[in-house]
């Protein structure tokens, strides 16, 4: 029975990895749709989000069934509960990729992002994808040490997030208010995507070590003092 | 044993209601800090978020312990798993209130919001608080019919969200890019706060009826086609 149970846990872990791959892929495609004003690709990303949602539902049902059938306690139970939380994080990454695609669709045939911002969003997308894929590897390997690395990568995301605001607030900015609104929302989507990847990794640390790694610090990443709005313009 | 278990469920339900109250209160105070440029109040909201986080941790630990000790199946298990999801929603509401307070603090002594926007954000805050409190009542009464009402209220939030963008995009808008960025982020925080309240209510529908009420519709509320970015400016 134990052995079957641990096989089940492994299947769930594989599905989390698959979720991380699908969400990273969705962000890659959404960003391509955004920066290339590609309506067809945007539509694909939007409709394919249902696959991510379905995989997450399947994963959650399996995890809940495992709790009901195996009645695990202690570490095994925590692992299943944590799986439910990680699936929520990774599914939310997919939603955020869909948001990027929806903005691309909304502005088509105009490109929502232009000028200096193009390169910043390309970098945000690459970093966020890499972080999401890495979070899957960390889950798969139960690699508690990987979380610190992911938090460092999140500092890069924060820097890029601030860079977006720096560009918008330059006296030379002539993109207008609509483009500033779009860039603000987009930057927030990419930043939150990365936050969820960090969150997955921190949950692995908890599972492996039983200690919350800087939970407070992680929560404070989604704030306005550091990565949020720049102090310029006060 | 069953009776003790159901007492435990009731305690958890009470704690969810308390979470909804604390988060609604945090938003009320954060909005007062925002609209009145009240630094002291903003600091209070930011530091008091820890209470919400602590209550959520306590609630989650109780729910997980109940699963371990009582080994529930079927409906009882779903109820406990759903409790964990609702606590995550309500704690996130508290985070979003903290974000509003952080923006107030960041811009102090300047008021981040002015002119026509003041009234819109006051309305967004009132609606979002009412929705959060109502979600607690819906949990407490296991009132599946309340969710439809909450979704209607969310339409008002979407309208106010669009109103923010309409104001920012008026030719008369002279608040500058920084204020436009701030208003965009704030509007998103209030909108997401309300989304989480709707999400709590939808989970109650599922618990009571076993059927997901327009899960897709709820997911699509957090989108760009309806409540998100206005089409103006294309």
Tens digits of residue pLDDT in B70-103: 999 888 999 999 999 999 999 999 999 999 999 9
Is residue B12 over pLDDT 60? yes
Q: Between chains, do A177 and B185 touch, taking CB under 8 Å as contact?
A: no
pLDDT digits (tens, 9 = 90+) for B131-151: 999 999 999 999 989 988 999
Of the pLDDT bands very low, low, confident and very high (cuts 50, 70, 90), residue B223 is: very low
Give the pLDDT confidence of A5-51 residue by residue, as tens digits.
889 999 999 999 999 999 999 999 999 999 999 999 999 999 999 99
pLDDT of residue A59: 96
Cβ proximity of A194 and A127 under 8 Å = yes
A15: tokens are 């599905």
pLDDT for A181:
97
- Cβ contact, residue pair A68, B64, below 8 Å: no
Interface ipTM: 0.91
**Dihedral sign, CA of B145, B147, B151, B154?**
positive
pLDDT given for residue A232 in this prediction: 37
Instruction: Return the structure tokens found at B118.
Output: 């003041």
Q: C-alpha B76: how far from its chain's center?
A: 26
Q: Is the peptide bond between B109 and the residue preceding it cis, with omega within 30 degrees of 0?
A: yes
Across B207-227, average pLDDT: 57
Could you tell me which residues come within 8 angstroms of residue B93 by beta carbon, excluding any fewer than 6 positions away?
B20, B23, B24, B26, B27, B132, B193, B196, B197
Chain A residue closest to B107 (CA)?
Answer: A234
Per CB-CB distance under 8 Å, the chain A contacts of B218 are none
Q: Which chain A residues have a beta carbon less than 8 Å from that of B178?
A: 169, 232-233
**Which residues does chain B have within 8 Å of residue A107's beta carbon, measured at their own beta carbons?**
234
Q: What pLDDT, on the 0 to 100 scale, is given for residue A74?
A: 87
Question: Out of A53, A77, A228, whose CB is closest to B67?
Answer: A77
CB contact under 8 A, A185 and B228: yes
> B222 contacts in A (CB within 8 Å)?
95, 99
For residue B222, the model assigns a pLDDT of 65
Query: Which of chain A's residues have a Cβ under 8 Å away from the Cβ of B110?
Result: 234
- Give the domains, in start order, of chain A with CATH numbers: 2-221 (1.20.58.220)
What is the pLDDT, as a whole number, of residue B210? 74
Supply the pLDDT for residue A224: 45
8 Å CB contact of A229 and B88: no
Kindly identify which residue of chain B lies nearest to residue A98, measuring between CA atoms. Answer: B223
- Given its phi and psi angles, is residue B3 left (phi above 0), alpha (psi -120 to 50 degrees) or beta? alpha
Judge: B110–A234 Cβ closer than 8 Å, yes or no: yes
Using DSSP's 3-state secondary structure scheme, residue A158 falls into helix
B13-30 confidence digits (pLDDT tens): 999 999 999 999 999 999
What is the model's pLDDT at position A1?
53
Contact B39, B29 (CB under 8 A): no
Rounded CA-CA distance A128/A104 in Å is 18
Spell out, as residue ranges, where chain A has pLDDT lower than 70: 1-2, 211-234
Tell me the nearest-neighbour CA distance from B52 into chain A, angstroms: 13
């Amino acid at each position: 029975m134990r052995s079957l149970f641990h096989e089940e846990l492994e299947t769930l872990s594989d599905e989390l990895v698959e979720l991380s791959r699908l969400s990273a892929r969705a962000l890659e495609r959404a960003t391509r749709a955004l920066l290339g004003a590609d309506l067809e690709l945007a539509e694909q990303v939007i409709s394919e989000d249902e696959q991510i949602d379905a995989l997450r539902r399947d994963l959650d049902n399996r995890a809940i069934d495992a709790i009901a059938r195996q009645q695990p306690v202690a570490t095994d139970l925590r692992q299943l509960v944590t799986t439910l939380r990680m699936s929520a994080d990774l599914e939310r990454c997919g939603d955020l990729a869909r948001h990027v695609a929806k903005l691309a669709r909304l502005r088509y045939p105009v490109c929502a992002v232009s000028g200096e911002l193009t390169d910043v969003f390309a970098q945000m997308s690459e970093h966020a994808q890499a972080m999401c894929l890495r979070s899957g590897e960390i889950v798969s390997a139960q690699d508690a040490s990987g979380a610190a690395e992911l938090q460092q990568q999140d500092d890069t995301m924060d820097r890029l997030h601030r860079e977006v605001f720096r560009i918008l607030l330059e006296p030379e900015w002539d993109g207008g208010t609509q483009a500033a609104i779009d860039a603000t929302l987009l930057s927030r989507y990419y930043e939150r995507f990365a936050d969820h990847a960090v969150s997955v990794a921190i949950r692995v640390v908890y599972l492996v070590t039983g200690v919350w790694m800087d939970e407070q610090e992680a929560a404070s990443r989604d704030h306005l003092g550091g990565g949020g709005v720049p102090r310029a313009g006060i």
